[in-house]
Amino acid sequence: MKIINLHNQQKSLIKKAINNNREAQQQLFELHSPKMLGVCRQYVKDMHHAEDLLLSGFLKVFTNLHKFKHEGSFEGWIRRIMVNTCISYLRKKNLVDLSDEDFVFNDSATESLENTTVEDIQKLIDKLPEGYKMVFNLFAIEGYKHSEIAEQLGISVSTSKSQLFKARKILQENYYKMNKTIHENK
């Protein structure tokens, strides 16, 4: 059995893509675009806009490929570019409202998510206001800290925390409504 070192293979593709080898660029795109479309889709409801952002993000990837230092994950590097591309798009379209008001709610236990599909969860996230959704995705999906989110979005740490709490509350309320509707229709 022959073991292929995928890291070296990807490193070779990156080197070729830096030299404008279209085939290598295509292979990198095909390798990473499905997952990165999912990243874009987390921030933008409309699939066509998400696809446009994916292409715009990959243009940035290939333009800046020479800056990738092979320190850390290449996929993580691409992911960060996609997230930044989506945030820039939402800012330009003035679709983000990041207010600094306090919000307190009682955190009660949620029902089991066993019967909830990924599509259902994505629909719940899509219903969030853009500012809440952006902070929620950066924190819960991307794993950013509140200080990193604050710096990225130009807001205070307390605003980031407030936005996350609001997003969680709305998700919780909509989840209960969704489950109630499902149980009533059975």
Phi-psi region of 70 (alpha: psi -120 to 50; beta: other; left: phi over 0): left
- Region of poorest pLDDT, from 84-93, 110-119, 171-180: 110-119
Look up residue 76 and give its two tokens: 């993580």
At residue 112 the predicted structure's pLDDT band, cuts being 50, 70 and 90, is very low
Look up residue 144 and give its two tokens: 């950013």
pLDDT (0 to 100) of residue 166:
92
Which is nearest to 104 in space by CA: 33, 162, 37, 29? 162
> What Rg do the C-alpha atoms of the chain give, in angstroms?
19
| Residue 83 near residue 39, CB atoms below 8 Å | yes
What are the C-alpha distances in Å from 91 to residues 62, 79, 88, 153? Answer: 23, 18, 5, 9
Residue 27, amino acid? Q
pTM exceeds cut of 0.95: no
